[in-house]
Each structure stands twice: as C-alpha cells, then as structure tokens.
Structure 1
Amino acid sequence: MPHPPPGVPTWVDLGTADLPDATRFYAELFGWEADVSGEEYGGYTTFRLDGHAAAGAGPLFGEGQPTAWSMYLATDDADAVAARVEAAGGKVLVAPFDVMYQGRMATFLDQAGAPFSVWQPGSMRGADVFDVPGALTWNELATRDVEGSAAFYGAVFGWLGREIELGGRPYLSWELDGATIAGMKEMDETCPDDLLPHWMVHFAVIDCDGAAAYARSLGGTVLRAPTDLPIGRCALLQDPQGGAFSILQSVNA
C-alpha cells in the first residue's frame, strides 16, 4: 500500500525496559511476529503483521527513561523540520541523524512539551500496514495548550485544525491536503497534574472488550475500560513495563 506523505504519521515504536517481555506481550495481543535486527542496531525489533512492518521496539538507553510509545511523522527533509520546530517554539531533543541506510530521524518537543519524532525514509519507508486489526489506526495529542499546539503543528507541518465534538467534549481533528490524519484533545481536570502532554497511539482491534481482557491476562493493565465513542469503542491499556497505548474497535469493524 502507498506510504504516508510528508506530515502524516508513518511509524510508531516502543522504548521499553524489558524488550523480551514486551515482545511476548505484544506478539500475543496483536499477532505480531518479531524481526530482531543485528547488533549494529542494538537489537531493534520490527513487529510484522502477516509479514508487513507494523511497529517497532527497542531497549531504553537513557537512565530514568520511562517505557513509552513514540510517534513518527513522515518527512522528506528532517533538517528543515528541525529548523521549523525551533522557529515555532519547540525544542530539538535529538538532532537529525542517519540510521545507516535505513533513513534519517530526529526527535522533538512541541511548544507544550509533547515529544514526537520524524522519519525521512531511506530503505525503510515506515509502516507497511494501517487501519487493520493489529495495526496503527489513530494518533492523538493530549495537551493543556490546545491553541498553542494548533498553531505549532500548523506552522511546522501545515496542518489545519477542525473543531468537532467527540463523546460530548470538544475535539480538534487535524487535516492535511483534505485528509484527516490525527486528533487533539485537551487535558482536563481528570488528568493527573504530573501527566505530561503526549501523543497517544491507537491500534485497531476487532473486539475492544475481548482485547482488553486478553491484555490483562497477559500481564497488562486496563487504565480506562472500553468506552463507546462516535468513531468506535476504545480502551486505554498499559503493558507490563508501563507503556500506555490505546485500542480502537472502529464503528466499521
């Protein structure tokens, strides 16, 4: 299938405190097969769904770094994105660098402190599969600065925000060239004060309730029970190492 154009989510990966156990958990939950790279890539693992690249995972390298999923936006010029991030009030955490012949990447904080990355493809294009059970289906920014974030991503990637209502709460749907590509919600009083702005990744499932129960049986935690939304049924989960992610049963499933 065609890979996402610049400015659109193209890849997600997990930095985890226990790569073998995370591999066990996600392989069982989503039916992924683990393709482990050589030592030159630090054991980075590509999760494949029916042979197609769906997501990645690797060990943590920074002391005190939490287990977490990261979202990558496609770009054809990581260095130009870095310049626009700084001009828009964000911060370059990891300057653009080459991942051998696979591609070029960089990691940033937006103006409110939410981390995200970009991927300039080489031989590795990004995910090969989206929007099917076991694959990435949605990315959502949770932030306390909705207005500032709308301006930031608009300036850096050309996104246009469209206000909608989702589950009785205001919600911003982001569009690029007429296509809906991501969403944003405001972190309200129900969010802990120490919870930082972040991007949440959503994986498609056939049965949200069944997948949530199965994740619990594998050692995961259900942080928010399956809930009906206009777009489908969604649950917030946590893997055994503490990595948070969501699952979404589409209304079309």
Structure 2
Amino acid sequence: MSTIERHTPGTVSWVDLMTPDLEGALKFYGSIFGWTFEVGPPELHHYTTCSLGGRRVAGLSKRPEGTAFPPVWSVYFDGESAEQLAESIRANGGQIVMGPMDVMDFGRMLVASDATGAFFGVWEPKNHTGAQVIHEPGSMLWHEVNTRDHRKAADFYGRVFGLEGRKLDAPGIDYVTLHKGDKTAGGVLQMNEQWPAEIPPHWMTYFAVADVDASIAQVEELGGKMHVPPFDTPFGRQSVVTDPWGAAFTLMTPSKLPDQSSG
C-alpha cells in the first residue's frame, strides 16, 4: 500500500463534503468505505479528516446553520499558486467564489466556478498535501465534470491547469479526458437532453469499492438511494447513488485503472 506524498499540480488532490448531519455522515461513510475519522474543532465547523488505513482520503464537515446550498462532494485541484490560478480562472471566463485564503498552516484554497458554471476548488498545499491514497477500495478513483458545453469546459480546464483534452472514442456520448503529461486528471461529459433541465453543471467523484452491488445494498440499508442502476463499462462496473442527505457520488469496481498516480 503506497502513500502519496504530493499530487501533480493540475490534478485533483482532495475531495470533501459539507453535510447537514455530520454525525450521521460519519456513520454512513464509515460503514460504506471503512473510514476512520479525526474530528476538528467547532471553529472549523468540525472539519473531519477521513482516513483509510491511517492515510488521508477525504474530508467531511458540518454545513453552517442557515446556509441553503445543497450537500455536494467538492473537488480540489492541486495548485502551486492559488493567486496565479485565480487570475487565470478569471481570464478564462470563470468566477472566484471564495478566496484565495489561508487555512491555518495546512495550505491555501479558493473556490471557483468554471466557464460553464460548475463549481470546483484549488488547493495550494503546505502541511496538508491532499489525499494520501487513491484507486484503492474506499478511496477516490475518478472525477468528471458534467456540463452543458463540454468543449468550453475542456478548453477552460486546459488553459487554467495546463491539461490536454482528448476526445474519448465512445459511441453515443461526447466525452473528453483531461491529461497532465502521462497522468489522467479527469473527464468532461456533455449533459444531453436525457439530463433533467434543473440539474446544473457539476463535478462527480467516483469512489472505488470491491463490489458495487454489495455497496449499493449497504447504501440503501443506511438510508441512501440508488439513482442509476449498476452497469458495466470497459473501465468497470458503476452506479450513481446519494447519501441520506442528497449528496451524489459514483460507486465503481474498476477493471482498468486510469493513471492518476502522483509524482
């Protein structure tokens, strides 16, 4: 079991979730993924580090009282300079929602929306370098932005993070994979007419599991819902689910791992 010391700038290094029920989320995700937790202080909204085998894997926190935004899994791109990336985001049609700002001595962060309206974060690491494990059951596996204009989104992320877009040769979908040298940073999916109009552009995180069907049964037993029944792809078997508070994520048992290794 290898431990990641630092992610490649321009690739996703961290994911987290603000939830209305932190105690319930700890029980739910701990049961599904086998995570253990280190709960933070109240002044940090009890920001909780989730670990797998003693290695950081994701974050959970209590959604501040009185806020109305829905619970969603957020992705953070590793960046060497949050300030420079903020300038690039604005220059390429995105918007800065929050930051750049220091998070104690852990790092600097910002939250932004891309040129098509999907929200994402940037993490400039200091003492916290992001997830220490990926691609293992219970850890993040893949990330893709679902958007109404996949070409515009792929161009945005290419310009901001220096990523190369490659069209996936798959019938029936418009999909672009994003690459940083020999590493794959994620994907861009065109939302077609089959997507309900009220669903906005958004990032989707995939978590690896040993058995998708068994994990779905566990999700439902713990109060979550299955939204897309499990189906097989050339990369593995997957299903879209939500936790009991509505946060969506994809479960996947991979047959072929994307090269997202860090160096």
Which moves more between the two structures, 239-248 or 146-155? 146-155
Q: 2:28 aligns with which of 25, 28, 36?
A: 25
Q: In the alignment, is residue 109 of structure 1 matched against residue 113 of structure 2?
A: yes
Alpha-carbon distance, 1:166 to partner: 4.0
- Deviation, 1:199, is 0.4
Give runs of aligned pairs for residues 102-251 of structure 1, distance below 5 A.
102-166=106-170, 168-251=172-255
Superposed CA offset, 1:67-101 (max 9, x none): 11100000110011000000000000002000010
Please tell me whether residue 4 in structure 1 is matched to residue 17 in structure 2: no
Distance 1:167 1:249 in 2: 22
The Cα of 1:252 is off from its aligned counterpart by 4.6
Q: Which of the pair is proportionally richer in strand?
A: 1
TM-score, length basis structure 2: 0.93
Provide TM-score, normalisation by structure 1. 0.97
Matched residues in 1 for 2:204 and 2:45: separation?
25
Q: Percent identity?
A: 38
Q: Deviations over 1:163-222 (max 9, x none)?
A: 113474232111111321201110011111010000000000111111111111111100
1:93-108 pair list within 5 angstroms: 93-108=97-112
Contact in 2 for aligned 1:36/1:45 (Cα 8 Å)? yes
Amino acid at match of 1:238: T
**How far apart are 1:54 and its partner, in Å?**
0.5
Q: How many residues align?
A: 253
Gaps of 5+ in 1: none
Q: Secondary structure at the match of 2:174?
A: strand
Q: Which of 68, 92, 97 lines up with 2:96 in the alignment?
A: 92
Q: Which amino acid aligns with 1:111?
A: A
Single out whichever of 90-99 and 146-155 deviates more from structure 2.
Answer: 146-155
Distance in 2 (CA, whole Å) between partners of 1:105 and 1:235 is: 31
1:40 to 2:43 alignment: yes
Name 1:58's counterpart in structure 2: 61
| Secondary structure of 1:43 counterpart | coil
